Amino acid sequence: MDSEDDFMSGLSSEEDNVLQDESDDEGSADDFGFDEPEPDPDVSQKGTVQKKKRSFDINFKVYHPGDIQAQQDELINEVNMILDIRKEDAAILLRHFRWNKERLIEDYMDRPKKVLESAGLGPSTSGPPKLEVIPGFTCDICCEDEAGLESFAIKCGHRYCVNCYRQYLNQKIKEEGEAARIQCPQDGCNRIIDSRSLDVLVTSDLQQRYHDLLTRTYVEDKEYLKWCPAPDCENAIECGVRRKDLDKVVPTVTCDCKHRFCFGCILADHQPAPCDLVKKWLKKCADDSETANWIAANTKECPKCNSTIEKNGGCNHMTCRKCKHEFCWMCMGLWSEHGTSWYNCNRFEEKSGSDARDAQAKSRVSLERYLHYYNRYANHEQSAKLDKDIYQKTEKKMIQLQTASGMSWIEVQYLNSASQALQTCRQTLKWTYAFAFYLARNNLTAMFEDNQKDLELAVEALSEMFEKPVTELADTKLKVEIMDKTSYCNKRRVILLQDTADNLANGVWSWSISF
């Protein structure tokens, strides 16, 4: 390599402790029965490697901004050497091919001219990019022609004054958020402006934005890379799980910023429920149709004027407040036909209204089923929302404990672990209820429900201990109990997730609806 070494590599990573993606011996990726997509072999192995331990764990790596830059530089260097083209051009070609190096090299070997042309790198004259003053030059954009006007052109030779060029780039970068594919300002010319030319032209504040945008395009172009969605987090995660695998695996990743999320849909951790189920469930819960369901299940319409009536107690003899129609709540028939059987409707066998009753009953059952799962889901969600409070309370408690009982900082960490366990387990429990809602009964369901029950009991017990006043917490016996319960909760969670993940991977769950 030559003097161009430093091209675009201002951020090359200082982390030299290269971790290898060791394949572990126990649970292998093949558990899922899909051909494990090898993370790009050409991608540098920098970044934190998360080892796959249990069947619901997946392999992923966390990349920091420096790593992402280094990956790009490495790819650019490789293409630069293999194809013997300038680095600027290699970068443009790679972006054009959405960073698919193999395809780029293959296509380039076959038809170099065509590839260059389509990437906006037509026939070129050489020389590094620089501003020039050309006598007699008139800018075609602003029509200025004053003497000494600085102008600029990229390889295609379409020359414009530096002010117009800057204005153009400014608008593209700042307003349109473009970076990787900004073309020459000439009408009809699709040549792409390389980053070196940009460095000559744009102001430093814009350069930062430009390079940010380039990096963003890189991550977005790569199927196996996704940004961590946590606010202000600049890391990206690499994970080999593809879209088509999402019915078999719930790819949950943890960023170095501690945020745990699903690589498939970017929502917060929703194990054990697969992405499609989550989407359906969230939509169902957001849907107002459930309100309508409640109305359908809990009210009836007056058979005469159709006003909606909720029965709030009392006997079956209804008198519509609006139209004064008198009817029987049970059979919806005329009250006058009931004779003297005032309080019990014994006309059940009669046809009138029996269809309506069937529909009503059905709706009620499905509503109750939904509410059963929803209430439990919502309850755990509520608790999860209080996570922050709990955590803060914990911190306070730990300090109190230290002063009250003379325990050291390290000795009170068990409360922190307990709080963490509660949060994680509740998050899992919450989604088990959405999961269960869509689950059709078969011989696996009982096992799942047992696991769910065990975890829930353990979590609630731990939660209760955790809320005890500081004076009691200082008791060594309780401390041991809490520690035991914490590890029990974590164990139960692993068992539950392992079981659901295995069955999901093997496709043995049956669902009450199709996804």
Tell me the residue length of the chain. Answer: 515
Q: How far apart are CA 456 and CA 459, in angstroms?
A: 5
Nearest to residue 400, comparing CAs of 464, 469, 491, 322?
469
Return the range that interacts with another protein (CB under 8 A); candidates 26-34, 109-117, 183-191, 405-413: 183-191
Return the range that interacts with another protein (CB under 8 A); candidates 72-80, 181-189, 223-231, 410-418: 181-189
Strands, E assignment, 7-66 = 48-50, 60-63
User: What minimum distance in Å lies between the beta carbon of 149 and another protein?
Assistant: 11
Q: How far apart are CA 169 and CA 183, in angstroms?
A: 10
**253 touches another protein by CB under 8 A:** no
Q: Structure tokens of 431?
A: 């989604």
Q: Which is nearer to another protein, 38 or 144 (CB)?
A: 144
**498 touches another protein by CB under 8 A:** no
- Which residues does residue 133 pair with via DSSP β-bridges, in sequence order? 150
Return the range that interacts with another protein (CB under 8 A); candidates 168-176, 247-255, 405-413, 488-496: 168-176
Vertex 358 angle, CA 357 and 360, to 5°: 65
Question: How many chain residues touch another protein (CB under 8 A)?
Answer: 20
Q: Which is nearer to another protein, 145 or 467 (CB)?
A: 145
User: What minimum distance in Å lies between the beta carbon of 198 and another protein?
Assistant: 16
User: What minimum distance in Å lies between the beta carbon of 194 and another protein?
Assistant: 18
User: What minimum distance in Å lies between the beta carbon of 209 and another protein?
Assistant: 17
Q: Which is nearer to another protein, 84 or 187 (CB)?
A: 187
Whether 447 contacts 386, CB under 8 Å: no
Contacts 24+ apart (CB under 8 A), 369-373: 369/437, 370/284, 370/290, 370/293, 370/437, 373/433, 373/434, 373/436, 373/437
Question: Site for another protein (CB under 8 A): which residue of 168, 327, 377, 448?
Answer: 168
Quick one: residue 31, left, alpha or beta (phi over 0 = left, psi -120 to 50 = alpha)?
A: alpha
Judge residue 347's burial from the number of C-beta atoms within 10 Å of its C-beta, 0-12 exposed, 13-18 middle, 19 or more buried. middle
Whether 509 contacts 501, CB under 8 Å: no
Whether 264 contacts 275, CB under 8 Å: yes
- Which residues does residue 317 pair with via DSSP β-bridges, in sequence order? 328
Q: Which is nearer to another protein, 158 or 280 (CB)?
A: 158
User: What minimum distance in Å lies between the beta carbon of 176 and another protein?
Assistant: 7
DSSP label at residue 410: G
**167 touches another protein by CB under 8 A:** yes
Q: Which is nearer to another protein, 168 or 377 (CB)?
A: 168
User: What minimum distance in Å lies between the beta carbon of 144 and another protein?
Assistant: 6
Q: Which is nearer to another protein, 96 or 430 (CB)?
A: 96
Q: Which is nearer to another protein, 145 or 368 (CB)?
A: 145
- The mark string for 184-213 relative to another protein (x by CB under 8 A, - otherwise) is xxxxxx------------------------
Q: Which is nearer to another protein, 167 or 298 (CB)?
A: 167
Question: Site for another protein (CB under 8 A): which residue of 12, 23, 45, 171?
Answer: 171
**What are the backbone dihedrals phi and psi of residue 301, each rounded to the nearest 5 degrees, phi first?**
-95, 140
Residue 138 exposure: Cα atoms within 13 Å on the Cβ side: 2
User: What minimum distance in Å lies between the beta carbon of 326 and another protein?
Assistant: 56
Q: Which residues contact 387 (CB under 8 A, 6 or more apart)?
A: 423, 426
- Is there a catalytic annotation at residue 315? yes
Q: How far apart are CA 489 and CA 482, in angstroms?
A: 10
- Residues 107-166 contacting another protein, CB under 8 A: 140-144, 158, 160, 163-164
Q: Would you call the peptide bond into 123 cis, given omega within 30 degrees of 0 as the criterion?
A: no
Tell me which of 143, 315, 345, 425 is the catalytic residue: 315
User: What minimum distance in Å lies between the beta carbon of 173 and another protein?
Assistant: 12
Q: How far apart are CA 146 and CA 446, in angstroms?
A: 85
Q: Which is nearer to another protein, 151 or 500 (CB)?
A: 151
User: What minimum distance in Å lies between the beta carbon of 118 and another protein?
Assistant: 17
- Active site residue ranges: 315
Contact positions vs another protein (CB under 8 A): 140-144, 158, 160, 163-164, 167-168, 171, 176, 183-189
